[in-house]
Chain A
Amino acid sequence: MSIVSALHAARLPVDASAHGPALDRQLLLSLWIVLALFTLAHVILLGGLAARRHHPQKSVWQIEYLPLVALAALFAVLTIRAERLWAATRYTGASLTALQVEVTGVQFAWYFRYPGVDGTFGRVRPELVAPGEGNPLGLDPADSHSADDVVSSQLMLPVGREVDLAIRSQDVIHGFSVPEMRLKQNAVPGETIHIHFTPTKTGTYAILCTQVCGLGHYRMNANLRVVTPEEFDSWLAAREKAVQR
């Protein structure tokens, strides 16, 4: 009973992104193929050990090369399918109309920045970073674009709109991961890495850190809240108003 419920709990999380269903199909296809090959190999291995009757040895072609060609073809098909999906999500950037959000990993928190009414991210300078004074990203007040930037500790997104994430890190390598969006990308200090996706279901989802980043690694997480476009607009407007006070 407990084992059954334990197994029940361990299943793929909800899939709430536009590119996710295709990824899940490829994952499940791969898992079934692997399970079938595992079973087949063991049936043949154990069958061969159990069989008694002598059989004239088949040629290398029949036992080695033909199965090998079949396996190679199978792996090739999986590779091509996987590459097409990878290319679809990663070979090109987000569309120009995508919502821009910057993600910053810091030991041990995620910060999310929206460019504000001017639509441009302001400059940040590491020497200005002061979490205690409400400036965890080091926004430069000298840059006019910084003044209206909205910094949040949760990632708020409107459902159904593509989002372009610019992922960076302030200190060490972190792993930005949203299992329910089938999304993962390391945040590497010194680099800004873009990924894009479209959330398709409203709800609250987990953002984890998946690259060991220090002693608080396991509790470095945040919430992703996917809300209706109206809720998002009013949330963002309220935040923008607050920073321009």
Chain B
Amino acid sequence: MTLTSLRRRVFSTDHHVIGVEYLLLALTAVVIGTTLSLLMRIHLVWPDWQLPLHGPILPEDYLAMVTIHGTVMLFFVLTTAPQAGFGNLILPAQIGSRRMAFPVLNAMSFWLTAVALVVLLSSTFVPGGSPISGWTAYPPLSAVASAGPGQAMGMDLWLASIALFGIAATISSINTLVTIIKLRCDGMTWERMPLTVWGWFTAALLSVIAFSVLLAAILLLFCDRHAGTSFFLPAGDLVNGTLHVAHKGANGSPLLWLHLFWFFGHPEVYIAILPGFGVTSMLLANFSFRRVFGYRIMIATTLLIGLLGILLWGHHMFVAGLNPFAASAFSVTTMAIAVPASAKVLSWIATTWRSRPSYKTAMLFSLGFVSLFIAGGLTGPILAQPILDEYLHNTFFVVAHFHLIMAMAAVFGLYAATYYWFPLMTGRMMSERLGRWHFWLTLVGAYATFLPMHLTGLAGEPRHYAQLAGIPNAAGVMLARLVPLNRFITYSALFLATAQLVFLWNVVRSLRRGAVATENPWMATTLEWHPALHPRHSAAMGEPIAVHRQPCQYAATPSGETFLPQWVPDTLADTTTEAAFDTKPE
């Protein structure tokens, strides 16, 4: 590879290349994160098992795995793949643009993200290893180097990594926002924007707000660690036999970190799921051959979920030591978000209702998204009640709740997107037969893994426990009872992870031997399938792009089903109004 081609291919400012690079980064990260989760599951039920080339898994190893698993999955998979990955690949074309607003910044934010991942993983190799305070990094555990192994240089590397990631995500989100606001083609009004674009737009808004607060928090924590400040350390804090003299006199509070962190941390989960909402809405309509039910409501609920998403961080802090009246207030805002979320589910159900959809793999994963989002989302109103959180907080019930949404629904959104846009990116179709196997195995594995966690949580199993067996006192009796069900969960997790090999095989196989795709294989109506915007056809580059209607306009004509893409001027004389395309007549 010559220097020029290296620069063109690797350090490209082309948004397609950057999008693929983000997806490859996320793929690397998800393999790491999944491997760690399997090691954790195995250790939990067979604590004596020795990790090859490592030996026994010590409690600090377990907590380091928890920390890196959470950090890698949240940041480098769930923030990166849907937002930066598919956002770069698809977003410009969906609004009729051939580029992102700031191509050089775009490349820079990718490389900063890549460096952030390397910095994070390098913490494994420093004295003490990776930090053990979980992805939430609550001080004083995270503020004092002597608080545990990994809390010295490992913690500094964690902070550096997240700071770099935050800068990259902010740059990338500004790029997304400017692209959407400034580069829409003729006729692409806000109401005609595909719901995917609305998802990316809202997630980018949240990113800009949330990551800036996280960056400030990280800076403060770094000062507490190295500059003798005490934003998060109370006077007289005695860790591991050492009074923190440098912080003497000043009286900070760890609760400040909790506020700052969760002001970021809760919007973060919406950043991860909002693009999935968009993809699901559009794909359900596409494969049902229908308009999205209540298009304006869907736009409004997307924005409303974003807005409420930054007003309810305190529900992570019901038992953290807040004033109980604050818990009541955060409980109400948390319950409120169930309403727009329910509206989305109702719209998805109404869109597919009696539509006789085409069950392509991308459609199956979209339906799976709906199912898993319902399953994971419905436990939200339970956890939103402070009195129930008093029992359920930090148990596996919470783990089940957010893994069904974050780990499964969000990933189903990513799979739907991959199966759907694969022909656009590669010119080949993915195998439908392998895709169906992948979907059903994954769906069964997902429910078998995460549903029983509700039960172990209700029985009182706490998170972050390196071991359930061999613990003294009454706690040992209580936890030992839960080992059999945990063994079942571990088997299911191994099954779920193994099923993903079908997907990897499908990608590799389809890249080489997949059926050649037609120009618009799904009869999609959104602009990324416009011949002149096609990523692999640069021939028609000069052609002007204009939009004439909302996406998802379909009809049945005597000659069969017809779809009316956004870019086609009204050629079907008898069906000029959008209303005529409302539903598929019998």
- A residues sitting closer than 8 Å to B (CB atoms) are 2-3, 5-7, 9-13, 23, 26-27, 30-31, 34, 37-38, 41-42, 44-45, 48-49, 51-55, 57, 60, 63-64, 67-68, 71-72, 75-76, 78-79, 82-83, 85-87, 89-91, 107, 125-127, 129, 138, 170-173, 175, 177, 179, 182-186, 188-191, 193, 204-219, 221-224
Option from B233, B379, B386, B585 in Cβ contact (under 8 Å) with A82: B386
- B378 adjacent to A48 (CB under 8 Å): no
* From A11, A91, A204, contact of B474 by CB (8 A): A204
Q: Quick check: B462 and A10 within 8 Å, CB to CB?
A: no
Residues of A within 8 A of B346 (CB): 63-64, 67-68
For the complex, what is the distance from the CA of A53 to the CA of B585, rounded to whole Å?
11
Interface-central residue, A31, A45, A183, A214, by most chain B CB under 10 Å: A214
Bound Cα distance from A214 to B465, whole angstroms? 11
B347 at interface by CB-CB < 8 Å: yes
Please tell me if the beta carbons of A126 and B236 are within 8 angstroms of each other in the complex.
yes
Determine the residue in chain A with the shortest Cβ distance to B467: A218
Q: Quick check: B374 and A223 within 8 Å, CB to CB?
A: no
> Are A185 and B345 also in contact (CB < 8 A) when A68-B339, A221-B471 are?
no
Contact B382 A206 (CB under 8 A): no
Given contacts A31-B382, A75-B338, A177-B462, contact A83 B482 (CB under 8 A): no
Chain B residues contacting A182 (CB-CB under 8 Å) are: 390-391
CB-contact partner of A57 in B253, B488, B582, under 8 A: B582
Known contacts A185-B321, A191-B321; is A86 also within 8 Å of B239 by CB?
no
Q: Determine if B471 and A212 form an interchain contact, defined as CB atoms under 8 angstroms apart.
A: no
Interface residue B93 (Cβ < 8 Å from any Cβ of A)? no
Q: How far is the CA of A49 from the CA of B456 in the complex (A)?
A: 34
Q: Give every chain A residue within 8 A of B60 (Cβ-Cβ).
A: 215
Cα A206 to Cα B479 in complex, Å, equals: 10
Since A173-B254, A190-B254 are in contact, a sample of 16 more A-B pairs with Cβ atoms closer than 8 Å, ordered by chain A residue number, is: A12-B459, A13-B478, A23-B387, A42-B371, A52-B354, A75-B381, A171-B239, A172-B239, A179-B391, A185-B321, A189-B233, A190-B234, A193-B321, A214-B147, A217-B466, A218-B471
Given A23-B390, A179-B391, decide whether A34 and B238 contact each other with a Cβ distance below 8 A: no
* B238 and A171 contact, CB distance less than 8 A: yes
Q: Judge whether B59 is part of the interface by a CB distance below 8 angstroms.
A: yes
The yes or no answer to B349 lying at the interface (CB within 8 A) is: yes
Which residue, A5, A89, A175, has most C-beta atoms of chain B within 10 A? A175
A10-B297 CB under 8 A given contacts A30-B382, A173-B141: no
**Restricting to B321-338, which residues have a CB under 8 Å from any CB of A?**
321, 324-325, 327-328, 331-332, 335, 338
Interface residue count on the B side (C-beta < 8 Å): 109
* Chain B residues with CB below 8 A from A218, complex form: 59, 464-467, 471
Chain B residue, CB-CB nearest to A218: B465
B370 sits at the interface (CB 8 A): yes
Considering only CB atoms, which chain A residue lies closest to B238 in the complex? A126
Contact of A26 among B144, B354, B387 (CB under 8 A): B387
Min CB distance B487 to A, Å, is 8
Q: A218 to B484, alpha carbons, bound, how many Å? A: 18
Nearest chain B residue, comparing its CB with the CB of A12: B458
Who on chain A is nearest to B237 by CB?
A: A189
Determine which residue in B343, B473, B484 has the highest number of CB atoms from chain A within 10 A of its CB, and name it: B473
A45 near B140 with CB under 8 A, answer no
A45 x B320 contact (CB < 8 A): no
B485 on interface, CB distance cutoff 8 Å: yes
B16 within 8 Å of A (CB atoms): no
Pairwise interchain contact B59-A10, C-beta atoms closer than 8 A: no
Question: Which of B101-109, B130-138, B524-532 faces chain A?
Answer: B130-138
Is B213 an interface residue, CB under 8 A from the partner?
A: no
Bound together, the chains give a CA A210 to CA B452 distance in angstroms of: 20
Partner of A48, one of B297, B349, B462, B476: B349
Q: List residues of chain B with CB within 8 A of the CB of A210.
A: 393-395, 462-463
Task: Kindly identify which residue among A45, A55, A205, A206 contacts B349, using a CB–CB cutoff of 8 Å.
Answer: A45
Q: Shortest distance in angstroms between A165's beta carbon and chain B's nearest beta carbon?
A: 13
Given contacts A6-B485, A188-B255, contact A64 B294 (CB under 8 A): yes
The answer to whether B474 touches A215 (Cβ under 8 A) is no
In the complex, the answer to whether B484 meets A63 with C-beta atoms within 8 Å is no
Chain B residues within an 8 Å CB radius of A2: 484
**Interface pair A10/B485, CB less than 8 Å apart:** yes
Let me know if B559 is at the binding interface, CB within 8 A. no
Residues 444-495 of B contacting A (Cβ, < 8 Å): 452, 455-456, 458-460, 462-467, 471-478, 481-482, 484-485, 487-488
Contact A215 B339 (CB under 8 A): no
Interface string of B33-69 (1 = CB under 8 A from A): 0000000000000000000000000111001001000
Is A215 touching B391 in the complex (CB atoms < 8 A)? no
Q: For residue A66, which residue of chain B has the nearest CB? A: B346
| 28 A-B pairs (CB sep. < 8 Å) | A2-B484, A9-B482, A9-B484, A27-B382, A49-B352, A67-B342, A76-B335, A86-B327, A86-B390, A91-B325, A171-B237, A172-B144, A173-B140, A179-B460, A184-B393, A185-B319, A186-B319, A188-B255, A188-B321, A189-B237, A190-B254, A210-B462, A211-B138, A214-B132, A214-B141, A218-B471, A219-B467, A221-B473
Q: Across the interface, which residues of A come within 8 angstroms of B472, CB to CB?
A: 219, 221
Question: Which one of A26, A79, A212 has the highest number of Cβ atoms from chain B below 10 Å of its Cβ?
Answer: A212
Interface assignment of B260: CB less than 8 Å from any CB of chain A: no
> Inside 8 A of B551's CB, which chain A residues have their CB?
none
What chain A residues lie within 8 Å of B458 (beta carbons)? 10-12
Closest to A24 in B: B391
- How far apart sit A189 and B297, CA to CA, in the bound complex (Å)? 46
Which residues of chain B are within 8 angstroms of A170 by Cβ–Cβ distance? 237-238
